Amino acid sequence: MPNITPEITLSARNLTRRFGNHLVIHNVSLELKRGEVLGLLGHNGAGKTTTLQMLTGCLLPNSGEIEICGISLLRKPTLAKAHLGYLPETPPLYRELSVNDYLTFAARLRGMESAAVAEALAQTRQRCGLEAVSKKIIGTLSKGYQQRVGIAQAIIHRPAVIVLDEPTIGLDPVQIRGIRSLIRELGDTHSVILSTHLLSEVESVCDRVEIMQHGKLIYGDTSAHMQQHGSVSGFTISLRNPPPLSVLEGIAGISHVEQLSATQFRVLHAPDHNPKGELLTLAEQQGWQLEQLTPLQATLEDVFVKITDTEKNAAGETK
């Protein structure tokens, strides 16, 4: 069967949501492309879960439009939801059922014909690493396996779009690694949007990032560009026989030098004037004995704090 999934699998335009008189989601617009893993990043309480509930049809927006594979979720919810798989923050599991029985139930609930269920069940068990526990009662499984069952129910009908809300919360490091590997694999054949407040999650599985704060999307880019957003022009150097600090500060292009230890320095320079070459030449000529030079690189945590603090300060100024 040919792949008829459109290039844009999910489109949301100008979504708003109120609880009483309180506006909690402010004109949120985003798109999800085929074969993409999009991370919705933000602090707890930023509005991520409310947004995902609207994107999956579990919560009606007060205004705005949502399309799944070109189908209006608001006007044709049943047809649109056929292309959706959803794992809420608390997996919707029947703990008294076996894994096989629950996933069979989930497939039939999604409208799959009986003849197609057996094959879908076998493929989904294999993809989610559930073959060894397929006959076990869900309530007896570890949280990591229960999370895998939750993802399995979201993908058993082969949806174009998979929505995961905090998929690794509460798991141990080994379980987290397994779930992240599974999400990355799902991104090869589906479109995935996941919410998280864990920066390591974004770094390890997401192609693109949208940052949410106070119900607004405040930044969007690829995860690689996000890391570059907070990059600093500079490097750390180790000199076994260093000169006085004033000598390093006097090198053309160097704007600041911070001494970290007797032999290690943090050097900042103008973005368009990298003094590395001159520094290497001087180190050799003057016998400074350069041992190490490492470019400075901002962590995702640095970038996230910078972006959210900038937005918070700007919002404070406009009040």
| pLDDT confidence of residue 2 | 41
Cβ-in-10-Å burial (0-12, 13-18, 19+) of 233 comes to: middle
| pLDDT confidence of residue 319 | 38
Helices in 72-211 by DSSP H: which ranges? 77-81, 99-109, 114-127, 143-155, 173-189, 199-205
| pLDDT confidence of residue 219 | 83
Q: What are the helix and strand counts (H, E) for the chain?
A: 11, 14
Dist CA 270 CA 312 (whole Å):
27
Residue 204 is encoded by which pair of tokens? 């390890």
SS3 76: coil
Same topology, domains 8-229 and 234-295? Answer is no
Domain boundaries, the chain: 8-229, 234-295
Centre a 10 Å sphere on the Cβ of residue 273 and count the other Cβ atoms it contains. 12
List the one residue out of 223, 81, 275, 256 whose CA is nearest residue 160.
Answer: 81
Identify the CATH assignment for 234-295 out of 3.10.100, 3.30.70, 1.20.1330, 3.40.1350: 3.30.70
Residue 200 is encoded by which pair of tokens? 């390591």
- Each residue's pLDDT, cut to its tens digit, for the chain (319 residues) gives 345 678 999 999 999 999 999 999 999 999 999 999 999 988 888 999 999 999 999 999 999 999 999 999 999 999 999 999 999 989 999 999 999 999 999 999 998 998 899 999 999 999 999 999 999 999 999 999 999 999 999 999 999 999 999 998 888 888 888 899 999 999 888 999 999 888 888 888 999 999 999 999 988 877 666 666 555 678 889 999 999 988 998 888 888 888 889 999 988 887 778 888 888 999 999 999 988 888 876 666 667 777 777 666 555 544 3
| pLDDT confidence of residue 313 | 59
Domain 8-229 has CATH 3.90.75.20: no
Residue pair 242/257 in contact (Cβ under 8 Å)? The answer is no
What is the torsion angle, in degrees rounded to the nearest 10, for the CA atoms of residue 280, residue 282, residue 288 and residue 293? -20
Strand partners, 264: 238
